[in-house]
Structure 1
Amino acid sequence: MIFGFPLIVLLIYGSALESPFRGNPSLHCTFSRAGGLNDWEQLIHQVSRAAVNVSTGLEPVAPIPVECRDPGAHCAAVWTVRNNETEMLLQGCWDITRDLCSRPYVCSNGSRIFQPLRNGYPTYMCCCQSDNCNNFDSLLFHHRRSNQSYETTNREVLQRRDSRITILIWTSSLLSILIFLLAASRCYRTRRRKQHELPEELQQPFNTGQAVSSWSSQFDDDRSGTPDEESLLENQDPFLASLQLVERIGGGHFADVYRASSSMGDVAVKAYHSDQVVFENEYGNLTLLQSLENPNIIQMIHAVIAKKQLVLQLYSGSLHSLLEECSLDLTEFFDCAIAVNDGLAFLHSHTNAGVPKPVIAHRDLNPYNVLYMRQSSSRIQLYIADFGLSVSFSEGRPETNLELLTERGTVRYMAGELLEGSVNLLDPMTSLLQTDVYSCALVLWELLWRCRDIWPDDEIPSHRIAFDNLVPRNPRLEHMYPVVVRERRRPDIPTPIQKQKTLPNPTGLVELWSCITDMWEQEPEGRTTAACSADRLRRLRRILNPGGVVRDP
């Protein structure tokens, strides 16, 4: 699903690429800036400096012709649309848009969302590379129109369109509703019947002799893998031959997950539906992470690239399912909280055991993407999973396919700057790491809410998901935006901790709550890092749960 902020980030990354257009050293653009853009101070300063003899303040400037300093710059325009009226916000030279302007002579209107919501309205941008191609007329109409204002032309177009479709809408509405109801009914029955079934080709059990044929037959119609993969299949890999898919145990937007038996015991098979980019990204990230051997990251056993399938270690379930099934004591709470923060700190770190490594922003951290396993000592160990949307950075620049930035994670656990599209344009790596910390704070809140040791014996509550009292079960962007961004709401503080805050000498529970709230600060720069939070949790454990320190992983 498309989301606005990744398209903004693309503007930053484009600066590293060599422009395909050899700009005229004296490219001229139209420059203007509207008032009330104080929150764009850095952006306005950059655009102002890109032109010759333009003031770098925030005061409004009427449209004027300017000369660009950088021969490789483009003319750019940013505007908003309010009630079918276009308001120009910023025009000028922009030297960070290289390779993003598909047509050098026309500023394409509305093809890029610059910011999903600004004062309640969408904001758009375009760029081009010919003299004054970003002026108002070229922006809106692609050529000049005489004796017609934009408002008049737009109104006439809408009136003609409405008159043509009104009759069609009324005559076809009843038929459309009937077709929809029939299709929805059929889809519901089909989905309910197949929800827990294996695909038809996987329903028959494997035996050692049939496994190679059955498993390999899935690839006979697609030999798009590398020669090494094809050779592996031809040689009838013993592990693949031993696989026997048993049942579907989960799934999401991009893939389904099956439990399978094998020569190594039970494993999980993650089969992607069709999204090659997301599969390749997760495979690449897991390949890198396996070599670094972190105890808080899931383990990949095998991969069959030709069919977009990953064979993973089988875990007991998701953290969400664990919290639904049982409450936690303080030892279990700290085990889980520290494990999640340690895993996230590892992903965010620049080194591993002193050796440089890429920095990885997870981008979809939530209790469904954290798996658990009970160790032989009955202690719970957590593992961060699902790296399909993750972005890796090397020296601050992304190594990931930029198509992934148009995909978004789980809306309920997204930070405010993602919901409103105000991610820092000048430092996308730091911005995405800060959004991970916000998501981690919501995971810690769900853990704390299910910690029975902080509640009186007769008041232990059932599991709650973040914001469950403020938004629907499956919230959309329009549900989360007003709660998180406008009202700055956060999940409820547990009643026992609220009471502790009123005491003259509160216990360490108040500091534990402060640790969580510092991670979901409204301003990204005010949030603690995952590594800092892990250290605070270890210190608090020595105060609140000294019996668990000895066994602290």
Structure 2
Amino acid sequence: MVDNMRNSTKCWSFSKNNGREKELVDCPVGVGGCTASWQELNGRLKEFTYQGCLRRHYSYNCSSDYCRTIRSARLSPSNYKENAKYASPTDDVTVKICCCTKDGCNDFVTSQNTRLGRKMRFMTSQTEMTSQIEISSLMPTRMTSFETSYPTWMNAVTYCVIITSLFAIFAYLLRKVLTSQTFQDKLCHHIRQNITLDEVKEDTTPLAESVTLESNLSEDNVVCDVIVDFEDVIGKGKFGIVYKAKGKNQNCALDLCFKIALDSADSRRCHDNEINIHEFLRMRCDDRIVTYYGTRIVDGKNGIILQYSTKDNLRNFLDQNTIGLKKCINMLCDVTSAVAFMHEMNYDGDKPRIAHRDICSSNFLVNQDLTLVLTDFGVSMVIDDVTGNTYAEHLTAEGAPYYVAPEVLDLSINLRHHGEALTQADVYSTSLVLWEIVTQCDDFYVKPPPHSLPYQHDVTTIHDLINHVVVRKKRPDFRFDLKSLGSRGTRDVITNTIIECWDSDEECRLSASCARDRMILLGKALDDVISDNLTGGDVTNNDVAIDDVVISIDDTVGLIETVV
């Protein structure tokens, strides 16, 4: 009897199904050890179900001093009567059994190859499980009340709300940074800075420096006997001064401009760059580009000889004059044609694509017949169509501030590698010049407003300009008179074209060639109306469709008669 008692094993006993409370009992003689079982849901502890003695006929290796897992079986949720409140049919419910040989060894169990941890104390209630500090440290992956109480779709919604909130916070902080005074100061500094001589190496120059030889010019563009009046200053810019000059071409006297660089490295660089741009442009002459007569050294000063325009530049002309509908459309055609010519490549290989980068109303000259020509190519860039890159590596934002595109103001444009972006920035600047012309057309107003530059009355500093154009995405107002109902169809075509050219997204803007084609088509339609009106043709029942916008001839006949 004593021997039997000495060989018996003490085990913890508990049964969830029978309602037996946990207690330490003596196992019958011949029992090989202790056992315990529990359930796991998706690899995490769900509940303990049984503790007791292990009979010898269980052929398991239970020779360890702690309760080691000896069997694991997956239980189908549909066959488990209590699974409905714990699991869905897609969950993994597993029953595990462990055994050991030491007295009371089944109070601690281990679960191998699971996420339960190394060792767990056997507990008979959820309250006891959550109140044990020891178990919290040993079972870091035990299911929480949140995981067992809420369905998966609610977790997904929560994650979406968190991600959306983080994105909104990020957008708010980004806007605060973009509109902060410190950031805008850096932008202003970037816009105003230029290339220094030390930064630019010989192999990064956009084009090689050269002086035009008379033999390279056509006979019509060769001038002689150039006399410069250095007392007669036509204009002075950031990089150069323009003087009035005279010369002869095929024994005909010409009024000329003589442009020299200021005494700085930047000015000399722009001066040389302008010469090289003219060298490219002269290979394909265009009436909308200022005539180039080569270079001369006069009184020790190396200058560029250009045509002289009697009506000054477009900005000064619009300050003092209004224009009729016909002249307005002609000027719009000239502006868009000049920019399109710059942007288009000649496939004979003698003219590449060129981005002007300083388009504004003061860089268009007005001839005696009120035609316009584009000038000032000091910061222009030649674009390599093969790679889409520009020849220069050291670039900064250029142009008159009011005309600078939004993507250049906020530095989102890549000035080193995106030639297409440079041309689309030109299109934005062109749209503002078109706006200046349209606002001085007396057919669109009872009385045209005084000429003003874009945003002149909206902003006073570069900080205001960035906030107005980049952040708020504002554009100039046409301010058409509601009482002036004439030329509505023509006006709509023009305004829609301008609006499409100054879109905030540079990829959504029209190309310069598309804007040019619209204006040319509009001019031809107007010419046809004038011709029919002069010949007495019946035009009262005709409409001219231009890019899905219909110009009502009935509304324009009266004004066209006035223009004619």
Q: With the length of structure 1 as denominator, give the TM-score of the two structures.
A: 0.52
> Do residues 447 (structure 1) and 425 (structure 2) align?
no
Tell me the equivalent position of 1:321: 316
Q: One-letter code of the match for 1:532? A: C
> Do residues 262 (structure 1) and 224 (structure 2) align?
no
Q: One-letter code of the match for 2:425? A: T
> Do residues 470 (structure 1) and 458 (structure 2) align?
yes
> Do residues 531 (structure 1) and 523 (structure 2) align?
no
Tell me the SS of whatever aligns to 2:248.
coil
Spell out the pairing of 1:441-520 with structure 2 (5 A cutoff): 441-456=431-446, 459-472=447-460, 476-496=461-481, 507-520=489-502
Tell me the SS of whatever aligns to 1:465.
coil
C-alpha distance 545-518 of structure 1, shift in aligned 2 (>3 A): farther
Deviation, 1:540, is 2.6
Tell me the equivalent position of 1:337: 332
> Do residues 303 (structure 1) and 295 (structure 2) align?
yes
> Do residues 281 (structure 1) and 270 (structure 2) align?
no
Q: One-letter code of the match for 1:470? A: D
C-alpha distance 496-511 of structure 1, shift in aligned 2 (>3 A): farther
> Do residues 392 (structure 1) and 385 (structure 2) align?
no
Tell me the equivalent position of 2:419: 429
| Sequence identity (%) | 26
Deviation, 1:488, is 0.9
C-alpha distance 240-481 of structure 1, shift in aligned 2 (>3 A): same
Tell me the equivalent position of 2:402: 412
**Rg: which structure is higher?**
2
Tell me, which stretches of 5 or more residues in structure 2 are unaligned? 1-162, 164-172, 185-208, 214-221, 533-564
Deviations 1:79-134 (A, max 9, x none): xxxxxxxx9x9xxxxxxxxxxxxxxxxxxxxxxxxxxx7464649xxxxxxxxxxx
Higher deviation after alignment, 413-422 or 300-309:
300-309
Spell out the pairing of 1:13-412 with structure 2 (5 A cutoff): 118=178, 120=180, 122=183, 239=224, 242-245=227-230, 247-264=232-249, 265-273=254-262, 274=264, 275-304=267-296, 307-316=301-310, 317-351=312-346, 355=349, 357-375=351-369, 380-395=370-385, 396-398=387-389, 400-403=391-394, 405-406=395-396, 408-412=398-402
Partner Cα separation in structure 1 for residue 416 and residue 359 of structure 2: 24
Decide whether the 8 Å contact of 2:294 with 2:305 is kept in 1. yes
C-alpha distance 355-241 of structure 1, shift in aligned 2 (>3 A): closer
Partner Cα separation in structure 1 for residue 415 and residue 390 of structure 2: 17
C-alpha distance 463-350 of structure 1, shift in aligned 2 (>3 A): same
Residues paired across the two proteins, number: 322
Decide whether the 8 Å contact of 2:319 with 2:450 is kept in 1. yes
Decide whether the 8 Å contact of 1:419 with 1:477 is kept in 2. no
Tell me the SS of whatever aligns to 2:304.
strand
C-alpha distance 226-447 of structure 1, shift in aligned 2 (>3 A): closer
- Higher fraction of helix: 1
C-alpha distance 482-301 of structure 1, shift in aligned 2 (>3 A): same
Decide whether the 8 Å contact of 1:245 with 1:261 is kept in 2. no
Q: CA RMSD in A?
A: 3.8
Deviation, 1:409, is 1.2
Deviations 1:263-286 (A, max 9, x none): 342210111103221111111001
Deviation, 1:486, is 1.0
Tell me the SS of whatever aligns to 1:541.
helix
Decide whether the 8 Å contact of 1:337 with 1:447 is kept in 2. yes
Tell me the SS of whatever aligns to 1:297.
coil
Tell me the SS of whatever aligns to 2:244.
strand
Deviation, 1:415, is 0.8
Deviation, 1:465, is 1.5
Deviation, 1:454, is 1.4
Partner Cα separation in structure 1 for residue 284 and residue 529 of structure 2: 31
Q: One-letter code of the match for 1:266? A: D
Deviation, 1:299, is 1.3
Tell me the SS of whatever aligns to 1:294.
coil
Q: One-letter code of the match for 2:353? A: V
Q: One-letter code of the match for 1:461? A: P
C-alpha distance 469-119 of structure 1, shift in aligned 2 (>3 A): closer
Partner Cα separation in structure 1 for residue 478 and residue 504 of structure 2: 16
Deviation, 1:343, is 0.8
Q: With the length of structure 2 as denominator, give the TM-score of the two structures.
A: 0.51
Deviation, 1:545, is 5.7
Deviations 1:441-460 (A, max 9, x none): 0000000000011112xx23
Tell me the SS of whatever aligns to 2:371.
strand
Q: One-letter code of the match for 2:352? A: P
Decide whether the 8 Å contact of 1:270 with 1:311 is kept in 2. yes
Deviation, 1:425, is 7.0
Decide whether the 8 Å contact of 1:541 with 1:549 is kept in 2. no
Decide whether the 8 Å contact of 1:303 with 1:309 is kept in 2. yes
C-alpha distance 497-291 of structure 1, shift in aligned 2 (>3 A): farther
Partner Cα separation in structure 1 for residue 365 and residue 212 of structure 2: 31
Deviation, 1:325, is 1.6
Decide whether the 8 Å contact of 2:354 with 2:382 is kept in 1. yes
Partner Cα separation in structure 2 for residue 228 and residue 323 of structure 1: 34
Q: One-letter code of the match for 1:471? A: V
Partner Cα separation in structure 2 for residue 369 and residue 549 of structure 1: 33
Deviation, 1:323, is 0.6
Decide whether the 8 Å contact of 1:338 with 1:538 is kept in 2. yes
